[in-house]
Amino acid sequence: YPKLPPEDKAIVTKQIRAGYLFLSAVLFEPPMEFWDLPEDFIDNQREGEEVARGAGFGVPSYEAKKENWKNAMLNLKGVLDRYEIPFPAIPEVGISGQEITEVDMEDIIPVF
């Protein structure tokens, strides 16, 4: 990272935001504005998770998932800060940073 040119740092910032949007569907909750989901999806997902928790499946609560995801993002931010790579804002979990208003999928390298 130390020799990464500024234009590539901007791509990394966008890549982190895109990664958050993709992985949130599994690790937290899918952002409705990104994923094409029915309006009642989140409510149904939360209800299903509650049933699974009640059955002993160990599904973390909404707050626990949010805190875990926030901590993971902050760990990554710590790495990028060392190399002066701007970190994107992740308002869904309370992290401020560079606002990424649009993610052009042409700029994103699919890694998952």
Extents of the domains making up the chain = 6-107
Residue 73 near residue 65 (C-beta atoms within 8 A): no
Q: Is the dihedral of CA 22, 26, 28, 34 positive or negative?
A: positive
Residue 28 near residue 93 (C-beta atoms within 8 A): yes
Work out the end-to-end distance of the chain between its first and last CA atoms, rounded to an integer number of angstroms: 21
DSSP conformation class of 66? H
Write out the chain's pLDDT in tens, 112 residues. Answer: 778 998 899 889 988 998 898 899 889 999 888 888 999 999 999 999 999 999 999 999 999 999 999 999 999 999 999 999 999 999 999 999 999 877 666 666 666 5
pTM of this structure = 0.82
Residue 67 near residue 75 (C-beta atoms within 8 A): no
